[in-house]
Structure 1
Amino acid sequence: MPAAVPLIEELSSVLADGSADRRSEVLRRVTDLFLATSTRIGDEQVDLFDDVMEQLVGTVERYALVRLGLQLAPIGNAPRDTIGRLARHDDIGIAGPVLEKSPRITDALLVEIARSKGQSHLAAIAARRHLSEVVTDIVVERGDIAVTRKVTANPGARFSETGLQTVAARACGDAELAELFAGRTDVPPDLFCTMVRDAGEIVRRRLATSAHPAVRTRLDHAIAAIGDQLVHARLHAHHGPAVRLDPDALKARLCEQARSGERGPVIEALAAVADVPAIAVRNLIRQRSADALLILCKAAGLGWSDAKAVLAVTLGEPDDPRAAFQHYVGLSAEVAQRVVRFIKLRKSTSRSELDRLT
């Protein structure tokens, strides 16, 4: 590389008595030469550029290092040691482009930096096109909520079981993270169910109203799975491990209890058959929301006479039986299921909210 000879000869004098601006200019010329020849040179020539750049990077102005990082970051055979110096730099303006884009950075170096640097460096790492499990484990362990959101949103990031569990725990209290978590295809269904079950009301509402149909569908599946678990747990607690009631048997028992006026068991049985929390049914009764209770009965597949019996034992006979009957007959299964999904996400539902849903 004849063009490199004058630069190398100039290097000694520049390092000995040159100003920072002059050293920065030499670094720029060396970098330009490398970029012009990088696709045609071998490892030995790259190592030569690496030696020259390394001697300069600690002696130049900040702007020169920022420019160097931006120029070298996307280069597949960039000088490795120089890239390492830039990536470890405390100034994120220098380290950021390299951490985010350079293919020359190894997992070992990423782990080292993720363990020792601050949130801005972690955020840059989280944006890399590909991340291995060993790196994401450290990123989610040390990262704040913004970093966790960023790495969770990265489709090229792979997560270990431990990493996904860490993200799931944080997503329970952060609606934006929960939506990102729900959008990942590598999240096991049982872990997502656990997150939904433990999540706060704001998080569940965000998932239920997500602009992404896949997220809403996944939430519906999770709620259904959680409901099945709750029904099994209730049956196991009430009837012991030897008794196995199928849904039709449970519905028949609900109707029998309603006709017998057993208010407490009716509440529990209606919650189990409609697949909603018992506390939600109690709150609807406390609000004296006859329409909502009828919606639960419709979702449970009860006929009018049985629904009327449930209403009578929980709230008393309807003031206008004919109007109640017309309302019940006019309810569609689709509307009933939509309301049930909403009730599942909340311990309390106001009448105005139910009116909007129906």
Structure 2
Amino acid sequence: MPVVQLEPPRDAWDDRTVSQLLTLAQSRSAEDRQRLLLKVTSLCEATRPPAEVGPLLSDIFLTLAAQAERDIRLALSERIAGVDWAPPALINMLALDEIEIARPVITSSPLLKDADLIRLLIEATLEHQIAVARRPQLSRPVADTIIDRGEAVTMTALASNRSADISEDAMRKLVDHSRRIAGLRAPLTRHPRLNEQLAQQLYQWVGQALRQSIGERFRIDDAQLNAAVQQAAAKAVGSPEWRTAPTSRLVEDRERSDMERRLVDKLQAAGQLRPGLLVRALREQRFELFEQALAALGGFSDAQVHHAVRAPTAEPLYLACIAVGVDKAVFASLLVEVRKLSGGMPAGGGWTATPMNAHSASRAFRQMMEKPAIV
């Protein structure tokens, strides 16, 4: 059915205009209903409606919008998205419509309050939630709700919204989430609320290009990074969960050891053994897999890796990891996981993040392991 486009009326909210609106409202014709909806919208755009016609407008909008065709609802959403005179019930109804219709009011309507936006996060589709996360000047309570819900794409949209009011604690949660959600990392590196402390944490698990971006904004000091890892490891080891962990967890039973070795052999034979397996093994708490994969990747003996993990300093393990292709920034978080699973080993000594290639690191590791110092 064709849509009748109306020019903004020359007369505004006089008695004759209101009478015409009432006549159109009484018509059962679908075309008259469309004319009425567009005429009311045009009137409101030309002159703010007087307070006395507010109830009439509310009834007209809600009744006709519910019955209107999709293109009419879309046109209505676009035309009233930024106004403050529309009936709030109509705005909320349009915000729950299909996303193309809902997006203009979700993005721009001043009539959507925090409670309305939080309701959309709970009740509406993922596309609606993303639109909420991208809303300019998003309030802190709504941003906190997005983070608490933990939906990856919605948090990524929020991280890209530089005008959102995101607290320091909320930023810390986003950086924590970025460890498992790669899509968060790029927008976080550019976020104006990223501070130096959080940049240090984010730096550990981003790629080289993003590290350069962080480095352009913050001074990432390897000594500070090392100290942060030591502190995190000490906290982990000191917790009841790890303090009571038996040393027997370092060595799985023979059946499991054989299973992990077969997996490493299979991956190596297929040319699929990669440094990324080390991180995955630690996150899955498969410590024997980590040790065997490290030995296979570097061509080290099991004894050398065993000694490196249990040394009084993290230096040997650092060299072994660099030798197999682990980035020095990734090693910081990797060491925390190793110490969690090993009861605090390697011991408290740090490492020197000296730039060196894999060959040099391998040679230094083998020299160090000729006379390993074991605690």
- Tell me if 1:150 matches 2:157: yes
- Aligned counterparts of 2:231 and 2:123: Cα–Cα separation in 1: 48
- Aligned counterparts of 1:12 and 1:228: Cα–Cα separation in 2: 73
In 2, are the aligned partners of 1:8 and 1:52 still within 8 Å (CA)? no
In 1, are the aligned partners of 2:133 and 2:161 still within 8 Å (CA)? yes
CA 1:225–1:217 in structure 2 vs 1: closer, same or farther (change >3 Å)? farther
- Tell me if 1:29 matches 2:39: yes
- Aligned counterparts of 2:107 and 2:221: Cα–Cα separation in 1: 35
Gaps of 5+ in 2: 1-12, 236-306, 326-351, 357-363, 371-375
- Aligned counterparts of 1:113 and 1:192: Cα–Cα separation in 2: 32
2:210 counterpart (207, 210, 215)? 207
Q: Secondary structure of 1:125's partner?
A: helix
- Aligned counterparts of 2:231 and 2:225: Cα–Cα separation in 1: 10
- Aligned counterparts of 1:12 and 1:297: Cα–Cα separation in 2: 77
- Tell me if 1:9 matches 2:22: yes
1:64 counterpart (69, 72, 76)? 72
Give TM-score scaled by structure 1 length: 0.59
- Aligned counterparts of 1:231 and 1:10: Cα–Cα separation in 2: 78
Q: Secondary structure of 1:58's partner?
A: helix
CA 1:282–1:49 in structure 2 vs 1: closer, same or farther (change >3 Å)? same
Give TM-score scaled by structure 2 length: 0.56
- Tell me if 1:134 matches 2:141: yes
- Aligned counterparts of 1:234 and 1:63: Cα–Cα separation in 2: 59
Structure 2: which amino acid aligns with 1:22? Answer: D
| Percent of pairs with identical residues | 22
Partner of residue 261, structure 2: none
Structure 2: which amino acid aligns with 1:9? Answer: L
In 1, are the aligned partners of 2:320 and 2:365 still within 8 Å (CA)? no
- Aligned counterparts of 2:20 and 2:308: Cα–Cα separation in 1: 89
In 1, are the aligned partners of 2:162 and 2:192 still within 8 Å (CA)? no
Shift of 1:121: 0.5
- Aligned counterparts of 2:101 and 2:108: Cα–Cα separation in 1: 12
In 1, are the aligned partners of 2:25 and 2:60 still within 8 Å (CA)? no
Partner of residue 352, structure 1: none
- Aligned counterparts of 2:68 and 2:135: Cα–Cα separation in 1: 27
- Aligned counterparts of 2:225 and 2:188: Cα–Cα separation in 1: 18
1:192-228: CA deviation from partner (whole Å, max 9, x where unpaired):
444444x3xxx34342244xxxx22456427553223
Shift of 1:99: 0.4
Gaps of 5+ in 1: 237-262, 272-277, 288-295, 301-309, 317-358
Which structure shows the bigger proportion of residues in helix conformation?
1
In 2, are the aligned partners of 1:208 and 1:216 still within 8 Å (CA)? yes
In 1, are the aligned partners of 2:78 and 2:104 still within 8 Å (CA)? yes
1:146-197: CA deviation from partner (whole Å, max 9, x where unpaired):
3222111111111245643442233113344112112223245444444444
1:100-147: CA deviation from partner (whole Å, max 9, x where unpaired):
111121111111111111111111111211111111122234464332
Number of aligned residue pairs? 252
CA 1:225–1:96 in structure 2 vs 1: closer, same or farther (change >3 Å)? same
In 2, are the aligned partners of 1:285 and 1:315 still within 8 Å (CA)? no
* Aligned 1:44-193 pairs, distance under 5 A: 44-89=52-97, 91-142=98-149, 144-160=151-167, 163-193=170-200
- Aligned counterparts of 1:55 and 1:103: Cα–Cα separation in 2: 22
CA 1:128–1:229 in structure 2 vs 1: closer, same or farther (change >3 Å)? closer
- Aligned counterparts of 1:264 and 1:143: Cα–Cα separation in 2: 38
Structure 2: which amino acid aligns with 1:4? Answer: T
Kindly report the root-mean-square deviation, in angstroms, between the aligned alpha carbons of the 2 structures: 3.7
Shift of 1:44: 4.2
